[in-house]
Every structure is written in structure tokens, then in C-alpha cells.
Structure 1
Amino acid sequence: MILNILIGINCLICRGPEFVSRDDWGARPPTQVETMQTPVPFVVIHHTYRPEACYNKDDCIKAMQWMQDLHQLNNSWNDIGYSFAAGGDNRIYVGRGWTSVGAHAPKYNDKSIGITLIGDWSNEVPPLSQLIVVKQLILIGIREGYIREDYKLIGHRQVRDTECPGDALYGEIQTWPHWVADPTADYDLPIFKDGFHPDPATNDVGEHNKLKRHNLDRFGSA
């Protein structure tokens, strides 16, 4: 069992992540696209909380469609908020992509790639293979010129009042090389303290909106 897992991880490292395009997961077109200047100086890590973790392509596609419905139809955003989503099936699902301004982190949307790990990672760390594809995605972004080599890695909770990306995942990313405690160093940007600061430029009130602080509101209860 352990040997099979190790072999699978080694294969993943060798070949890199499989990308699932917007067409492949059935995305609707964005209502508007704002081009982002690259390479960006930040990578922001999220978890979805809801939908729950998915471990096969069909379930991850349903998760992506659920999120786009929430963000686009309920929140009236231009599109799904994230740049990319990492599924438990070890695939990367394309959201807004590398060059479009996202709606996932107030004041950082036009300066960051927002990556969400599908699932609730409050009490447990995502599978190693899911973490690996996120790290590989960041390396691809650097290699292709979309992310700065000296980028800063932060969790969503560092820029707004939210539990995202979950305590367990947040603890994990704090061990990654580019994580910073203060993302504002060298940048005239706010760090969250005791207020919520929506970004009117992208109609971003945080990707949880109805799910603020993991309260599912009309979509259910945590």
C-alpha cells in the first residue's frame, strides 16, 4: 500500500500535473475580463471549505461548477474567483488562469495568483499528492513568467477576516520556503487586522461571501 502511494507520487513528480481546461469542466464564459500584469509578486492559498474534497475528475468538475454558480450567479462576480483549483484527483482546474484579475483576496487580486485546494482543510492537511501539484503549479508559473521568482506566499486569512485556508493547511504552508508573515513588506498594501476591506474594482467581498467565516448561510450550515 505504502509502496503504491510512493510510486504514484514519484510518477506525479516526473510528469507534472494534468490541467483541466475551462471547456473540459464546463465553465460558463466570464461576463468581463480584466487583464493582470505579470509576473505577479504574490501567491494566495485558499481552501474551498465547501464544496468538500473531491478525489476523481467527475466530482471535481461538479465542485468547479458549484463554485462558479456561487461566485457568478449568487455573488454577481465576473467569473469563478480563483485563478486555479487543485483537486484531490491531483489535477489542476483552470479558473481565471494566469493573466486575468481574480476575485479571491481583497487588495491583492490584481497582484496575485489565487490557488484553492478543493476541500475543508481546517483539521487535516490535504493529501501529499495534492500539495505537490500546487507546488508544481507555482513552479510552472515562475518558469512561464507569470509569477516572480521572489514571490511571496500567503494564506487568505492574512488579507481578510476568514478562517481560510483552514488551520491545518495554513500551518502547512507556513513551512513552505516563500511564505511570509507580513505580506506588506516592500508593498503599500493592507494586512488584515480588525476590519474587512472589500475591493470595489473587482466586486470582491471575499470568495466566501455567503460562506463568510465558514457559515454556509442559505447553502447549509457548517
Structure 2
Amino acid sequence: MSAPCALLAWALLALLGLGLGRPGEDTPSPFCPIVPRREWMAPASKCAKKLKLPVRYVVVSHTAGSPCNCPASCLEQVQNVHNYHTGALNWCDVGYNFLIGEDGLVYEGRGWDTKGDHTGPTWNPISIGISFMGNYMERSPPARALRAAQSLLAWGVAQGKLSPTYEVKGHRDVQRTLSPGNQLYEIIQTWPRYHE
């Protein structure tokens, strides 16, 4: 991460009250650094369908677009995904429940309670969709992004949003797609909650 991006990341975390210790420290966080919708300037959601909680499944995808490695570029990227989903696809909001940035932050999409538009009519009502921002066919997400995703899942269980026996699936396990990309797919297959 470049010095300006690192400084901006720590400034954003301080603003959100999510101080992670000292810059450069590479230890897992006991909490999940979620950037709320208001912080990435999301318009009010027009979605009304709720999920039945706790949710049993998590579907992991990638956006297959540009990666982002600092809060400034991730804010821009999550806005781009939102604009595509609401403009070109005419969805009620960004399709994912959460988006993971290479900056190690989680960006709130529809959140825990609202049904997403990420995996089709069978899986959307029974799963949380988390998407890593970037294309992971040829490369892996950085460790901080993977830790952020795992922290999000632990947070979801602790908050009663995810079932303690939840299962992780790759997007390609439940739909005909290359998502979440070959490299990310190999990684999530090693996660203890992964089930094909």
C-alpha cells in the first residue's frame, strides 16, 4: 500500500472509530471494520425484501472489475458497482450485501437484513452475498482483504445474523460463472465453513 493510501486508510479508520492499532501492524482484528453506506455516499436503498435471519449460506464472488487498495479508490469502486447495478441493471440497490476492498475494509451494501441480487432467485433469499472488489482469476486478494471477509463472517455469527452452522459457497458453486475467480476460489475452498 502506498504511503498516501496508508495514511488515508488510518485517517478513515480513525474517523469511523475503528483504530486498528499501529500502522504496519499485521495482526488480525477482533472486530470487523465496516464502512457504512453513508460513508461511501450511497443513496437511500429502494429495496424492501428482507432476509430470514439467521442466514445459513454465504456466497463469495468477485466484481471482476478494477481492484482498489486504499479507501479513496475503494469508495470510488463501490460507487461504480452501485451505479452499474442501479443504472444499467435497474436493481433497487447495489446487488451485494457487502463488498470487500483490498484496503482491508468491508463496505456495506444491502447489509445483513436485506435480500441481495447476487446469485439468482434460488440463492438470493437464503444467502448473504459478499463480493471482493477486483478480478481474481490470475491473482489472489491481499491477506488484509481475506482477513476482513473472515472478520465479517465472525461478526455476523456474533450478531445473530449468520447461523453458527453457516456454509460458505463460491459463486461458481451455485451459478454458471467464473466468479469468484480461480485464485480466490482456491482460497475459499480452504476455509473451514466452505461446502461445494
Deviation string 1:120-158 (CA, Å, 9 cap, x unpaired) is 111111111110110010000001000011111101111
Are 2:51 and 1:36 equivalent residues in the alignment? Answer: yes
Gap regions ≥5 residues in structure 1 = 1-6, 182-222
Shift of 1:18: 1.9
Partner of 1:49: 64
| CA distance in 2: counterparts of 1:177 and 1:15, whole angstroms | 19
How do 1:40-189 and structure 2 match up within 5 A?
A: 40-50=55-65, 52-106=66-120, 107-181=122-196
Paired residues in the alignment total 173
Letter in 1 for 2:25: G
| CA distance in 1: counterparts of 2:47 and 2:160, whole angstroms | 24
Secondary structure of the residue aligned to 2:169 is strand
Deviation string 1:99-140 (CA, Å, 9 cap, x unpaired) is 000000111111111111111111111111110110010000
| CA distance in 2: counterparts of 1:127 and 1:32, whole angstroms | 32
- Percent identity between the two aligned chains: 32
Partner of 2:25: 8
RMSD (Å) for aligned C-alpha atoms: 1.3
| CA distance in 2: counterparts of 1:26 and 1:141, whole angstroms | 23
Secondary structure of the residue aligned to 1:33 is coil
Secondary structure of the residue aligned to 1:9 is coil
Deviation string 1:168-203 (CA, Å, 9 cap, x unpaired) is 00011001101112xxxxxxxxxxxxxxxxxxxxxx
Does the Cα contact within 8 Å between 2:47 and 2:114 map onto a contact in 1? Answer: no
Normalised to the residue count of structure 2, the TM-score between the two structures is: 0.85
Comparing 127-136 with 24-33, greater Cα deviation is found at 24-33
Deviation string 1:20-44 (CA, Å, 9 cap, x unpaired) is 1111101111223211110011011
| CA distance in 2: counterparts of 1:128 and 1:112, whole angstroms | 24
| CA distance in 2: counterparts of 1:116 and 1:109, whole angstroms | 14
Letter in 2 for 1:24: E
Letter in 2 for 1:81: G
| CA distance in 1: counterparts of 2:143 and 2:152, whole angstroms | 14
| CA distance in 2: counterparts of 1:164 and 1:116, whole angstroms | 9
| CA distance in 2: counterparts of 1:103 and 1:118, whole angstroms | 16
| CA distance in 2: counterparts of 1:171 and 1:112, whole angstroms | 21
Gap regions ≥5 residues in structure 2 = 1-23
Normalised to the residue count of structure 1, the TM-score between the two structures is: 0.75
